[in-house]
Amino acid sequence: MSNVSRFFIVMMVLGGHHFPQVHAESLCVDHETIFFNCKLHSKTASLCKSKSEDVVTYRFGDKSRIDLEISDADVRQRKIFYFSSTSYAGGGEAHIRFSRARYTYYLYDKTVKTDGGYDFSAGIVVFRGRVKIADHICTNVGSIRGSAYVEMTREKYSDISGK
């Protein structure tokens, strides 16, 4: 495991105690592990991994209605979810990227050291082609879970803030 991965896991474990713990109800089912869970007003976005198979699924909606579901089970063993991360002085950022049709989604969390401590944010950025069309910020502590750092297919980090 790289030093960057260790840093992020330590920041998530230790750093999480410095932030209010507001949890959103996950859209993952009983046989899935939560990789990411983000409350967006009345909707929830969850990234889940099957405990028995190597299948990752993104769901957006609420318990009564799933508005969008994307799974690598639907693409015959091809991976469509990719993890990347980078470190900052006193923090870091991680992304999970996936695409559907002309849309690319980035689930992210970011920790930045400030004069008053740490500033934590998480959310979902959506691109249509190369144009950023949405940047939703989680209303809960929506960090990417440590298991995603270890289990997901990695790719080179790409800055999404300035795109």
- Residues of the chain above pLDDT 70, percent: 82
pTM, whole model, 2 decimals?
Answer: 0.82
pLDDT at site 76: 62
Q: How far is CA 20 from the centre of its chain?
A: 18
Task: Answer whether residue 59 shows pLDDT above 50.
Answer: yes
Tokens of 16: 């999480």
Residue 78 tokens, joined: 């091809």
Spatial CA neighbour of 156 closest among 92, 47, 105, 82:
82
Residues 72-82 pLDDT 10s: 886 665 789 99
Spell out the residues 6+ positions from residue 47 whose beta carbon is closer than 8 angstroms to its own.
Answer: 34, 35, 36, 37, 56, 57, 58, 81, 96, 107, 148
List pLDDT tens digits, range 114-149: 899 999 999 999 999 999 999 999 998 888 999 999
pLDDT in tens, 85-97: 999 888 999 999 9
Sheet holding 117-128: strands in order across? 131-137, 117-128, 103-114, 91-100, 82-88, 153-154
Measured between alpha carbons, how far is 42 from 53 in angstroms, rounded to an integer?
30
| pLDDT for position 10 | 39
Q: Write down the pLDDT at residue 17.
A: 33
Read off the pLDDT band of 53 (50, 70, 90). Answer: confident
Name the average pLDDT for the chain.
84
